[in-house]
Structure 1
Amino acid sequence: MSATLGTFSLPKVENEKLSAYAPGSPERSALEATLARLSDKTEAIPVVVNGEKITGLSTAKQYNPSDHKKVVAEYQLADTATIEKAIEGALKAKLSWEAMPFTDRCAIFLKAAELISGKYRYEMLASTMLGQGKNIWQAEIDAIAEVTDFLRFNATYAQEIYAEQPPKHSTGVWNRVEYRPLEGFVYAVAPFNFTAIGSNLPCAPAIMGNVVLWKPSSYAVYSNYLIYEILVEAGLPAGVIQFVPGPAADMTKTVLSSPHFAALHFTGSTAVFKQIWHTIGENLHLDVYRSYPRIVGETGGKNFHMIHESANLRNAVMQTLRAAFEYQGQKCSACSRLYVPDTVWKSFKDLLLQEHKKIDIGVDFLSFMGPVIHKNAFAKIKSYIDWANADDESEIIAGGKCDDSVGYFIHPTIIVTKNPKSKTMCEEIFGPILTIYIYKASEYAQTLDLVNETSSYALTGSIFAQDRSAILLADSKLRYSAGNFYINDKCTGAVVGQQPFGGGRASGTNDKAGSRALLYRFVSMRSIKENFINLDDFTYPSNKRE
């Protein structure tokens, strides 16, 4: 280990500035050139274990959801033997990684942030747009801004954690606290919808000295592998993060069977998260693990916008259209249910439908909406539209068109229901469907109770009102209905360092990505007391006799 010759301060952290990609701008031209260069290319992606790029395994393909005949990547699938090798190698790498001075670990992730926002900016954007169906703006805020924000802010949060030390010391005693990495390895399971989440799931534990097995989503391998390569270029040692795409069920079974499994860092479906937790519980009962594994997960949402009759209706409409239909509703935070008072419904509806007509859908990445991620998602979302068409209590007032002939395109669909607990008001859809329930304005308080009890999820939600007493009532009644609560703003778009993200109930463990709270989950504190005064007598003063 290197000598500590100073107390170092990290550069001041700021949120990454967004580029607008205006027509004719240099950044627009550079991105278009990169897209043209990569759009007909198929990337060959290996499994990477201990720095070794492994091929010759079974393979799978990641398709372009805008044009599902195009393959953006063909990737190797880690088998059981490879996962076991990855675990063994990670544990060996852990010894030197956790011993590396914090400043040197930080330097790797800070350099990666600079590479992503600079040298590889357009490759990062293109891989996310081609592989995950994002338009320019959605890719920019995800694959550039949020990825780099996580890397930079986590370094600052880690420094703040290490600086937290006992404030009191008895005479002749020095107290201090170590924030040790977990004993074992972390299993990071990533989703398709955010490149930033894919990067943060392995990097957040790693910056605290942990080693990680990173399973990227089958539908985001392209962008996730580029991040891995950038981390290596930035100086990440072999074995610290093992890049292991593969069949989820088989991989997870092998990982959870290891006595060295120390933590799960997960973003994905509620059903899968519950099943993994169940398996961990069974293994605990069988004394499989050396310690109690940490379980950190963010799953689904059935997020709401609640409109009060005092709301600025134009703002509420615009915010709702963004929250419901940006990135095709494929955000765990997307607005899926909307409550509008009867007294303003006509005005709200007229403006909503007027603005809805302006939403364009296309394959050129300039449109507001693009495709959903794959054919199974397309079929699932379409089934909800088919159900609404057949339901006597539901009316589709906009959208409803589905076309998978070239890409997986579903038009932004708005349903009005007479049943506040209909199928599309209660179930997570993860697509561009918004369901509206019109409530009596005189029953605002009761409707807030309805909002709270309708869904098992509690991720995000918004209240739109100018009346402060209405805001206060919503804030109180909906306190546990959303981990991220917004006032007169959309329920999507949490920013690292500004709105720590996560929800409770069925939405996850609410450990708040984008804050110090998340990093605490991947350390195990050790208190150290050093005494400088010798004890000459073991008896107490109160034992003394006359």
Structure 2
Amino acid sequence: METYTNYVDGVWRASGSGELKPIINPATMDVVGNAPVSTLADLDEAVQAATEAKAKWSKLSGAARGDYLYKVADLMEERLDDIAITMTKEMGKTLPEAKGETARGIAILRYYAGEGMRKVGDVIPSTDSEALMFTKRAPLGVVGIITPWNFPVAIPIWKMAPALIYGNTVVIKPASETAITAAKVIACFYEAGIPKGVVNMIIGSGSVIGQGIVEHPAIAGISFTGSDEVGHQIALGSVKTGKKYQLEMGGKNPVIIAEDADLSKAVEGTISGAFRSTGQKCTATSRVLVHSSIKAAFVDKLLSALKEIKIGNGLNDGIWMGPCSSEGQMEGVLSYIEKGKSEGAKLIYGGSRLQGPSYDQGFYVEPTIFDEVDSQMQIAQEEIFGPVIALISFDNLEEAFALANDTKFGLSASIYTENIGAMLAFIDDVDAGLVRVNAETAGVELQAPFGGMKQSSSHSREQGQAAIEFYTNVKTVFIKG
């Protein structure tokens, strides 16, 4: 059993409360380890350390900051298997997926390490011929980072790496459910020799530590990934305290299966988008919009392919889908399945908690498909965050695009079609920050901007070179001789 403490000012420290919270393996119900239950006093110490470190860190060259990120990446690469195994034990993701996520985190670190050598401003012509005018980027200062359990390596790193390379210091509150995975990532920063106070980690509840980050006067910006309900609270609190904020929230992501779609590719992409990571992705496929003329053939292929999925403990060989991340998560998914039934949708596959010797000690839910779904049903409007999809028929693409846009969310969307005109219309007409053609809704390359429209985000973008827009402010310089 593993227990990690907070990391503050270059030192591993127990929380002020002394309390520990057990972390449960969702595949077996065994206790993986313990996470500290931190207090506002712990947070204050972390923010103070980050405040004291920010001036010296920001004055390092971008290349020097990048060298630290390269060292962290090398250490993570050496420990990839251990970090991935810990991730699978803590939140249930299959080991191949956990290894892929950890490798992605390593690649993100190296990408942003290279950003330390890129330009951070532009020369602007002045109307005064004797003057020089240009812009440069100034770091925000101390950045608070609040991350979820579903991507406990990739999301913290795609927030921390740009924050650090652009000269900020960091206080991160990872999800308690995956605190050991987060601590093993932070340990790589520690052993890379990053200066004390530059990176700090406080583990605790959202109601105490998360809210404390929002309210702390010394924190200049907040980057958050999580539910839209919590995101909206963070936005309101950030406005009150004058913080810059960045929110990546929910999705209700549609895939459109056009009349001319390659059904084999469409079925493969639908299953991967909907059920990998047990549907616990903000970009997971949730609504499947199928042209009425091909719906029967599509559903036949979909049901046949689903029967081949192997469900179980993500550490075991050959497992394709693991459990829900916790008992509470499982109960939430099962409650939505009951809502779908009560609303009149037709359950055509799955819909139950899995039972038997391989499943009784875990939080396993079958891949679930509802047909004959109306767009206004709760299962078609609300984020379920589990292995459940809703099938909705359409007769023409205009109707499909309207259905795709018929939610408060706008994170990702995809279409399967061979028609160039349909592709271009989809790209223009669907309200989503990420649109993919002949590919699943989930997945974006690390060098590309990522974020949603409508209530899926704060209309900012993460990853790639777009990250500089949040983690810095533009300073305009005018010099006259």
Runs of 5+ consecutive residues of structure 1 not aligned to the other structure: 1-41, 285-291, 533-546
1:45 and 2:4 equivalent? yes
Contact 1:135 1:365 in 2 (8 A): no
Q: Give the whole-Å Cα distance in 2 for the aligned partners of 1:205 and 1:344.
A: 47
Q: Give the residue type in structure 2 aligned to 1:471.
A: M
1:522 and 2:474 equivalent? no
Q: Give the whole-Å Cα distance in 2 for the aligned partners of 1:396 and 1:242.
A: 47
CA distance 1:378–1:418, change in 2 (3 Å): closer
Contact 1:215 1:246 in 2 (8 A): yes
Write out per-residue CA displacement over residues 39-71 of structure 1, whole angstroms, 9 at most, x where no aligned residue.
xxx111101111222226221121111111x22
Contact 2:65 2:116 in 1 (8 A): no
Q: After TM superposition, list the pairs within 5 Å mapping 1:245-394 onto structure 2.
A: 245-281=203-239, 283-284=240-241, 292-363=242-313, 364=316, 366-392=318-344, 394=345
- Once the two structures are TM-superposed, the CA of residue 322 in structure 1 deviates from its matched residue by 0.5
Runs of 5+ consecutive residues of structure 2 not aligned to the other structure: none
Aligned twin of 2:96: 137
Which of the numbers 397, 400, 403 marks the counterpart of 2:348?
397
Aligned twin of 2:389: 434
Q: Give the residue type in structure 2 aligned to 1:426.
A: Q
Kindly tell me the number of residue pairs found equivalent between the two proteins: 471
Q: After TM superposition, list the pairs within 5 Å mapping 1:185-200 onto structure 2.
A: 185-194=142-151, 195-200=153-158
Q: Give the residue type in structure 1 aligned to 2:350.
A: G
Contact 1:328 1:370 in 2 (8 A): yes
Which of the numbers 352, 356, 380 marks the counterpart of 1:425?
380
TM-score between both structures, scaled by the size of structure 1: 0.83
1:447 and 2:390 equivalent? no
- Once the two structures are TM-superposed, the CA of residue 446 in structure 1 deviates from its matched residue by 2.3
Write out per-residue CA displacement over residues 408-428 of structure 1, whole angstroms, 9 at most, x where no aligned residue.
111111110242221111110
Q: Give the whole-Å Cα distance in 1 for the aligned partners of 2:373 and 2:451.
A: 31
Q: After TM superposition, list the pairs within 5 Å mapping 1:14-33 onto structure 2.
A: none
Aligned twin of 2:86: 127
Aligned twin of 2:136: 178
Q: Give the whole-Å Cα distance in 2 for the aligned partners of 1:129 and 1:385.
A: 25
Contact 1:192 1:217 in 2 (8 A): yes
- Once the two structures are TM-superposed, the CA of residue 510 in structure 1 deviates from its matched residue by 4.0
Q: Give the whole-Å Cα distance in 1 for the aligned partners of 2:216 and 2:378.
A: 40
Aligned twin of 1:102: 62
- Cα RMSD for the two superposed structures: 1.7
- Once the two structures are TM-superposed, the CA of residue 338 in structure 1 deviates from its matched residue by 0.6
- Once the two structures are TM-superposed, the CA of residue 158 in structure 1 deviates from its matched residue by 4.4
Give the secondary structure class of the aligned counterpart of 2:478. strand
Q: Give the whole-Å Cα distance in 1 for the aligned partners of 2:343 and 2:215.
A: 46
1:207 and 2:165 equivalent? yes
Q: Give the whole-Å Cα distance in 1 for the aligned partners of 2:41 and 2:375.
A: 50
Q: Give the whole-Å Cα distance in 2 for the aligned partners of 1:49 and 1:138.
A: 30
TM-score between both structures, scaled by the size of structure 2: 0.94
CA distance 1:151–1:510, change in 2 (3 Å): farther
Give the secondary structure class of the aligned counterpart of 1:429. coil
Contact 2:310 2:318 in 1 (8 A): no
Instruction: Name the % identity.
Output: 26
Q: Give the whole-Å Cα distance in 2 for the aligned partners of 1:135 and 1:83.
A: 33
State the structure with more CA Rg: 1
- Once the two structures are TM-superposed, the CA of residue 365 in structure 1 deviates from its matched residue by 5.3
Give the secondary structure class of the aligned counterpart of 1:153. helix
